[in-house]
Amino acid sequence: MKRVEETDDCFILDFNPFNPVDVAKLSAVNDGDVDEELSVVAERGQVACRDYPHSRHLCLQFPFDTTPHDKHCDLCYCYICDSAAPCECWTTHFHAAEHVADWRSQRLVKIRPRTL
């Protein structure tokens, strides 16, 4: 099957390209002529883990699983201290993530110190 762009100079869309798209309803069929890569050409609105303050382990600019943990963006904060990154203990706290029980307990102690 030839691509529409190769066969016609002008064609009418059966949808409004400016309406929001429900990504869950999209499907892709690879008939051999399509690249297997996906390219996002636009996005609308803000993304919480990129555009708002976020814990270092949730940063989209420096993904926790694929970049050194000490790297951080301007909106990252320390998961343990709840302060802007880098905190005073950043050399150890930059490894902190909520999915590790030890870090969660350290956060509770730091954020809500016990009153004696």
For residue 3, what pLDDT is reported?
Answer: 55
Smallest CA-to-CA distance from 93 within 66, 72, 112 is with 72
Per-residue model confidence as pLDDT tens digits over 48-95: 778 899 999 999 999 999 999 999 999 999 999 999 999 999 999 999
% of the chain beyond a pLDDT of 70? 67
How does strand 54-55 pair with strand 76-77? parallel
Residue 4 has pLDDT above 70, yes or no: no
Spacing of C-alpha 85 from chain mean position: 18
Q: What is the model's pTM?
A: 0.59
The Cβ-side half-sphere exposure at 107, using a 13 Å CA radius, reads 19
Q: Which two tokens stand for residue 15?
A: 């949808």
What residues contact 28, with CB distance under 8 A and at least 6 apart? 34, 38
Domain boundaries, the chain: 48-111
